[in-house]
Amino acid sequence: CEGSKTEPNYFEGFRVPREIYDVKGMGDNTIRLVREAIKLKEQGNYDQVWVVMDKDDFPVDHFNGAIEMARAKNICVAYSNEAFELWYLLHFDYH
């Protein structure tokens, strides 16, 4: 996850056995986040690796480049076009 608090807290709240997922909050920019995900995928024994990030105020070329880089390495991408915190609030307001 791009963020180091909100995103990991959200996914840690899922009622899924821990061995099914491993959440890492990086608190980093989009390109470095994808590079770390690529390393994880190459080093680990994962069926899938996902990158969760938001647009924030990263330059468009960094944001789009990170998505393209991830997809080129078969890493799944979940992103929000604004801040993840907005998704978080809307999700819990809806439920």
What is the domain range of residue 13?
6-94
Residue 1, in any domain of the structure: no
The residue ranking higher by pLDDT, 13 or 49, is 49
Cα dihedral: 29, 56, 2, 51 (round 10): -100
Residue 11, in any domain of the structure: yes
Q: Summarize the confidence of residues 20-24 as an average pLDDT.
A: 63
Question: Which of the four pLDDT bands, split at 50, 70 and 90, describes residue 94?
Answer: low
For residue range 41-66, what is the model confidence (pLDDT) as tens digits? 898 788 888 888 877 777 888 889 99
The partner residues of 80 in beta bridges, in order of sequence, read: 54
Count of domains in the chain?
1
